[in-house]
């Protein structure tokens, strides 16, 4: 089975801190994604990557950046955490193939910014 591992299940940070969320997948998937999930808003795409060192902005990239130095690892960076970034962050990966996209999600990181 595909495994997508997120480094922390719960994280508490202070306003202004730099925050790193790590995600590792073990199935050699090309595509990796970062979503945030908020009540009533569903999943919103922050950033995604189709290849090593490649990144593209999603729908809500402001205040975030990403890094993909290795195929299996996709990091989300909050440059200066703010309270409105308190959320559940979900990493996902998928293999390429037109019409065959199945997202495999990690277990999520619940981030609280105080």
**Which residues make up the interface to other proteins (CB under 8 A)?**
31, 35, 40-45, 48, 50, 58, 90, 94, 96, 98-99, 101-103, 105-108
Side-chain-side CA neighbours of residue 56 (13 Å):
10
**Cβ closest to other proteins, residue 17 vs residue 38:** 38
| CA gap 8, 109 in Å, rounded | 6
Smallest gap from residue 113 Cβ to other proteins (A): 20
Smallest gap from residue 101 Cβ to other proteins (A): 5
**Cβ closest to other proteins, residue 12 vs residue 80:** 12
| CA gap 52, 111 in Å, rounded | 26
Smallest gap from residue 16 Cβ to other proteins (A): 29
| CA gap 73, 78 in Å, rounded | 17
DSSP conformation class of 84: G
**Cβ closest to other proteins, residue 18 vs residue 41:** 41
Smallest gap from residue 87 Cβ to other proteins (A): 14
The answer to whether 23 touches 105, Cβ cutoff 8 Å, is: no
Query: Residue 37 has which token pair?
Result: 């999930």
**Cβ closest to other proteins, residue 16 vs residue 97:** 97
Query: Residue 8 has which token pair?
Result: 């922390």
């Amino acid at each position: 089975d595909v495994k997508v591992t997120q480094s922390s299940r719960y994280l508490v940070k202070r306003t202004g801190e730099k925050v790193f969320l790590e995600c590792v997948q073990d199935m050699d998937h090309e595509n990796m994604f970062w979503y945030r999930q908020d009540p009533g808003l569903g999943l919103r795409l922050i950033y995604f990557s189709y290849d090593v060192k490649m990144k593209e902005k999603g729908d809500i990239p402001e205040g975030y950046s990403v890094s993909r130095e290795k195929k299996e690892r996709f990091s989300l960076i909050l440059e200066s955490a703010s309270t409105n970034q308190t959320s559940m962050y979900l990493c996902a990966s998928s293999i390429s193939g037109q019409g065959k996209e199945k997202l495999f999600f990690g277990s999520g990181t619940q981030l609280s910014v105080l």
